[in-house]
Amino acid sequence: MESREFFILNVNIQCIKLFLKMASEIDLLRQENARLMVENAELKTRVAKLKEDFKHPRKDSFSEKLANISDFVVTNKVVSVNSKLVVEGKDDGLFSG
């Protein structure tokens, strides 16, 4: 085999190696793109939900508990006896286990 033919064969081998490496990198990029598209869709869903929650605020459980505590304090008398709290009034189960 002449040196020119050897050189052309070597260039062809190098081109094939480079093509295979690029094909592998393209595959990895496609996988990353698919993952990012899924993540983007999830984030869009979360943003839409947050926008909807902002448009139509609902009473959260913290607000409800705070209102219940306020009602409890108004309707009951809390007395401190020897560093223990004693509740005088009706038991509405607010502080029971």
Mean predicted lDDT score pLDDT of the chain: 78
Q: What is the pLDDT of residue 92?
A: 53
Average pLDDT for 32-47: 96
If residue 56 lies in a helix (H) or strand (E), which one and from where to where?
none
Q: Are 94 and 72 in contact (CB under 8 A)?
A: yes
What pTM did the predictor assign?
Answer: 0.47
Q: Are 88 and 77 in contact (CB under 8 A)?
A: yes
Question: What CA dihedral angle connects 47, 53, 54 and 59, to 10 degrees?
Answer: -150
Closest residue by Cα to residue 64 from 88, 86, 96, 94: 94
Whether residue 72 has pLDDT greater than 80? no
Whether residue 46 has pLDDT greater than 70? yes
Q: Which residues contact 88 (CB under 8 A, 6 or more apart)?
A: 76, 77, 78, 79
